[in-house]
Amino acid sequence: MNKLKTEKNTLILTTLIILLPILAGVLLWNRLPEKIPTHFDFQGNPDGWSSRRTAVFFLPLFLTAVHLLCAFITAYDPKERGVSVKIYRLILWIVPVLSVFLNGLVYAYALGKDVNISTASYALIGLTLIIIGNYLPKVRQNMTVGIKIPWTLTDETNWNLTHRLAGRLWIIAGIVIIASTFMSNSVAPFIMLGAVLCCTLIPCVYSFLLYRKTL
């Protein structure tokens, strides 16, 4: 049975949560400045601003569109049986958490609260990698979730071994990124980028080497 039908209630709930920051923005409307910082550099300094209307309405609506697109594409994957119900639910909850977290940070900063944007963002990225890394080894072959490169998509054993390694690397990368929040703002971005590159590229190289062994 299609996951959109079986997980309809979860999809509705998560979509409403994504839109919650709009309600919060409307309630805070008179307290928010006309120009709100909506983009920050690696050190957490604002380097991009939006109007109050754009900040309150655009990001949640954009994230809602992304959320529904991901839900639809994953549900109608030609190999959708490779995505378990647990994995599908995880996918449905990623964007809602991002919406509440990101919009909450933006509102707090706009209201003059003492918020360290970079530290909070790195912590969220690290935690996300740890959670996804825990699930990666459990993902079976499919066309939308996981490390989708030619060698994993054509060989189930290659897929399984690659995702087992990737899961461990993503967890390690998440821990490293969270640890980087205790370091200086000038060093943390490079640690985060290095960790993300390693947990992304190493599984791809490993998958290719496994493919070469089968030739």
List, for residues 71-114, the tens digit of each pLDDT value: 998 888 877 677 888 889 999 999 999 999 999 999 999 999 98
> Does one domain contain both 40 and 124?
no
How many Cβ atoms from other residues are within 10 Å of residue 53's Cβ? 12
**Boundary (domain end) residue, out of 114, 142, 168:** 114
- The label of the residue with tokens 């299609």 reads 2
Q: What distance in Å separates the CA atoms of residue 102 and residue 59, rounded to the nearest whole number?
A: 9
**Boundary (domain end) residue, out of 70, 87, 114:** 114
Q: What distance in Å separates the CA atoms of residue 203 and residue 88, rounded to the nearest whole number?
A: 22
> Does one domain contain both 11 and 109?
yes
**Boundary (domain end) residue, out of 90, 114, 138:** 114
Per-residue pLDDT tens for 22-45? 999 999 999 999 999 988 887 778
Beta bridge partners of 51: 35
Domain range enclosing 38: 1-114
Per-residue pLDDT tens for 158-170? 999 999 999 999 9
| DSSP helix/strand/coil, 186 | coil
pLDDT at 53: 94
Q: Which of 129, 142, 61, 141 is nearest to 90 (CA)?
A: 129
- The label of the residue with tokens 């071994």 reads 161
> Does one domain contain both 107 and 161?
no
Q: What is the mean pLDDT of the segment spanning 172-201?
A: 91
% residues pLDDT > 70 (the chain): 99
> Does one domain contain both 199 and 144?
yes
> Does one domain contain both 50 and 145?
no
Based on the structure, what is the number of domains in the chain?
Answer: 2
